[in-house]
Amino acid sequence: MNSNVNELIRTAPLFSGLPEASVNQATSHVVTRSHPKDRVILLENDWGGSVYFILEGWAKIRTYNLEGKEVTLNILGKGEIFGEMAALDEVPRSTDVITLTPTTIGSIPAQDFIQLIHDEPLAGVRLSQLMAKRLRQVNRRLRLRESDSTSRVADTLLFLAEGQGKLKQQGTEIPNLPHRELSSLSGLARETVTRVLTKLEKKGLIKREHDIMFIPDLAALERIIA
């Protein structure tokens, strides 16, 4: 494993602060692959032989509702892991994972991941915190399903900021996702999402520049949620 990949692996919150020897052992069999945009990485019902973490790029976690409509459950970026539940439960995967941009992904064998959790209590704590955070996010989005469209789009942007926001001079930076992805995340029609984003931009609550969106004031965006 080259030094650049090793440095990227250590950006994952799961590994931060763990003893170097434990991280080296857990990642000794790591395999890295680069994928183009819109590449399916995992499919629902695949078996969980590996745990994955994003080194560069963005990916979405996808499933389908009873009507067969695609539902985006989460957007993952650099440092985040996926596939851990199937590895722990030894059951087939419950969602698909698809790249949204050119993405580099590292994978470690499930047994190495489980051994790390067994040997390092802090790794177990970090994993529990990750699962708790994702559960809180899902609960919040479910509560907002009956809210107005502006609240739902604003909450979706805050959701992205919490997971992958980067503090910049212009504000908090998040990916300027295609409107179809924001539509799937918020449960709104694409046309509605486009209309709300235009309104938020006119109010100065967001700024869009190519692939990047800036939120100048997170608290101001939070206040418009009904």
Lowest mean pLDDT among 45-49, 136-140, 182-186: 45-49
Average pLDDT over every residue of 139-154: 84
Full-model pTM: 0.77
Fold for 148-223, please state it.
Arc Repressor Mutant, subunit A (1.10.10)
- 179-186 vs 190-202: helix crossing angle, rounded to 10: 100
What is the longest distance spanned by two Cα atoms in the chain? 52
Distance CA 60, CA 36 (A): 14
What is the band of 197 on the pLDDT scale with cuts at 50, 70, 90? very high
Domain ranges of the chain: 3-142, 148-223
Would you say residue 3 has pLDDT above 60? no
**Architecture of the structural domain at 3-142:** Sandwich (2.60)
pLDDT of residue 172: 93
- Residue 39: predicted pLDDT: 92
How high is the pLDDT of residue 211? 83
Q: Where are the beta strands (DSSP E) in the chain?
A: 31-35, 40-42, 50-56, 59-64, 70-76, 81-82, 96-99, 103-109, 166-168, 171-175, 207-209, 212-215
Show the tokens assigned to 104: 């580099």
Cβ(85)–Cβ(137) under 8 Å?
no
State residue 89 phi and psi, 5-degree precision.
-85, -20
DSSP structure class, residue 14: T
- Compute the C-alpha angle 59/166/140, nearest 5°: 65
